[in-house]
Amino acid sequence: DAGITQSPRYKITETGRQVTLMCHQTWSHSYMFWYRQDLGHGLRLIYYSAAADITDKGEVPDGYVVSRSKTENFPLTLESATRSQTSVYFCASSGPGQAAIGELFFGEGSRLTVL
């Protein structure tokens, strides 16, 4: 099906473990984003990507790693999970724009709990 999908939708892990959240979109959108959402903080940008092999840090990148070897995939890895990374993670994509960012299409979110 067309769209943007995230997996897993729910994940419980322990402190220190590595976790990878997957994001896949079928529109061939150039831009992809990872946000985390916490009560009282709204949506905060972790990393974004303008195209395959081009990624850049957002507001809160520490403790996270991203890659984008293919246009359609943008995985987010927590190399050593901490309790402060317990959050809901949203992936989003946006079509090719000129200077302005176009409409963001969000995935359904991945709820991560770090014990």
Handedness of CA 73, 114, 44, 108 (dihedral sign): positive
Q: Which stretch binds other proteins (CB under 8 A): 11-19, 21-29, 75-83, 95-103?
A: 95-103
Closer residue to other proteins (CB): 65 or 88:
88
Binding mask 11-50 for other proteins (x = CB under 8 A): --------------------x-x-x----xxxxxx--x-x
Q: Which helix (H) or strand (E) holds 49?
A: strand 42-51
Integer Cα distance of 98 and 95 in angstroms: 10
* 22, β-bridge pairs: 7
Angle at 80 between CA 20 and CA 29, to 5 degrees: 30
Among 9, 26, 101, 115, binds other proteins (CB under 8 A): 101
Is the CB of residue 20 less than 8 Å from the CB of residue 42?
no
Closer residue to other proteins (CB): 1 or 103:
103
Interface with other proteins includes 70 (CB under 8 A)?
no
Closer residue to other proteins (CB): 42 or 69:
42
Interface with other proteins includes 108 (CB under 8 A)?
yes
